[in-house]
Amino acid sequence: MRKSKAEMEKLYQTADSIQTMLQTGDVLYSSIGPSTFFFSHAGIAGPDGRIFHAHPSGGITESLAAYLSRHRYGGTITLLRPKKDPTGAAAWAEKSISLMKGYRFSRTLEDTDWNYCTKFVWQAFWSGSGTDLTSAAKQLSRRWIFPRHIKHSSHFDPIAKFSLEFRL
């Protein structure tokens, strides 16, 4: 489906609004909806403002506008700011994203080869800054990291919520 000029303008206005607030290590949490196959989604911002996230096609690094364009059917993006310095988490994500072999729901938290979005974000904070977002380290060998664990983690402050009203 071809994007209208108004839809493209809305996409870039939303990206510009988020970009002005975005800091290294911030997490973008996407609401449940058709664009995310009725799951939530999460990605972490790198030092250059690019977003690192696990996707069914593997580990992806992309601009904020490209990340938002994946949400074709609306929804919301919540900007979550870490309470502790996230520099190490963002550096780990940047270094590790290209090592991901593919997207798979693996409960082995130490496995970085096969990943999914919220596990990747958890790993970035655990491996890069020693922050356990969910108390999962108590069961480090096998544990699910669900989107709600990221969204409701006490290690983040919600900074803003953006509506993605456009249909691309």
Walk along the chain (168 residues) and give the pLDDT tens digit of each residue.
Answer: 455 666 656 665 677 778 888 999 999 998 765 555 446 789 999 999 999 999 888 899 999 888 887 776 667 889 999 999 999 999 999 999 999 988 888 888 888 888 999 999 999 999 999 999 887 656 666 677 888 889 999 999 999 888 776 444
Closest CA to 104 of 61, 151, 149, 57: 57
How much of the chain is in helix, strand and coil states, percent to nearest 5? Answer: 35, 25, 40
Instruction: State the pLDDT at residue 14.
Output: 72
Instruction: State the pLDDT at residue 97.
Output: 96
Maximum CA extent, the chain? 50
Instruction: State the pLDDT at residue 33.
Output: 55
Residue 62 to residue 108: CA distance in whole angstroms: 26
64: its two tokens: 């904020």
Instruction: State the pLDDT at residue 134.
Output: 85
Instruction: State the pLDDT at residue 57.
Output: 83
Locus of tokens 């002005």: 20
Instruction: State the pLDDT at residue 38.
Output: 44
C-beta of residue 145 within 8 angstroms of C-beta of residue 136: yes
Residue 133 to residue 153: CA distance in whole angstroms: 6
51: its two tokens: 């977003």
Hey, which CATH number is domain 5-163, 3.40.1440.10, 3.40.1190.20, 3.90.1720.10, 2.60.40.1220? 3.90.1720.10
Instruction: State the pLDDT at residue 168.
Output: 41
Residue 11 to residue 82: CA distance in whole angstroms: 25
C-beta of residue 51 within 8 angstroms of C-beta of residue 63: yes
Q: Is 0.75 surpassed by the pTM of this model?
A: yes
